[in-house]
Amino acid sequence: MISRLCHTIFEESIHQYHITDDIDGAMQNPYPVNTLEYLLYTKNWIDTVQWHLEDIIRNPNIDSVLALQIKRRIDKSNQERTDMVEHIDSYFLEKYNHIQPVTHATINTESPAWAIDRLSILMLKIYHMQQEVDRKDATTEHTNACQEKLSILLEQQKDLSTAIDELLQEIEQGKKYMKVYKQMKMYNDPTLNPILYAKHSTPID
């Protein structure tokens, strides 16, 4: 089951990051390049680093210069995250390109890789919620509230994992088919963002 593979690799990536808990730490991906395992590990590593960048930028006392630097890093990370999702979808497209959909096959609301993206984020939520449950300086009320949230997150993990496995199974059986659209992000494109291309336009006399 693909969800089981995701669980294993995402947990490995999250654990490896938190050994140093350093947003500038180098990723040490143990899997061969261009394998699904490599893509999954890289995807979660990007998510994990960005999680902590998001924490930092929410510091109300953050220096304005540092805040801008972190914001730029988050923007870059979001693009890398999107690119990685598309790489994972390309893997599945190639894997299932020989499958002939049945007559009444349907398309899913999201691609397998975007569902896996949600699972990656969900496992980060679970990891950090568990940290809150285990906090020694927290009040009983805080611990109990976090434990309740953790239980819900774990149920979501189970449901999402089942949905991912069922989606891929239905694609293999031809009951569903993949149709992936590239993310056409406009604000990063200097030819599509008017703020960026205006800088290069010729002034009108």
Residue 184, amino acid: M
DSSP 21-52: T-TTPPP---SPTTSHHHHHHHHHHHHHHHHH
Structure token pair of residue 120: 């990656």
56-93 residues labelled b (16+ CB within 10 A) or e (exposed) = ebeeeeeeeeeeeebeebbeebeebbbebbbbbbebbb
Residue 91: the pLDDT is 96
Closest Cα partner for 96 from 37, 38, 163, 171? 171
pTM of the model: 0.90
User: What is the distance between the alpha carbons of residues 45 and 26, in angstroms, rounded to a whole number?
Assistant: 10
Are 77 and 121 in contact, with CB atoms under 8 Å apart? Answer: no
- pLDDT per position as a tens digit, 45-88: 999 999 999 999 999 999 999 999 999 999 999 999 999 999 99
Split at pLDDT 50, 70, 90, the class of 189 is confident
Q: What is the mean pLDDT of residues 122-142?
A: 97
> Could you give the percent of the chain with pLDDT greater than 90?
85
Closest Cα partner for 4 from 40, 38, 35? 40
Domain positions in the chain are 2-187
User: What is the distance between the alpha carbons of residues 34 and 88, in angstroms, rounded to a whole number?
Assistant: 10
- pLDDT per position as a tens digit, 157-184: 999 999 999 999 999 999 999 987 777 6
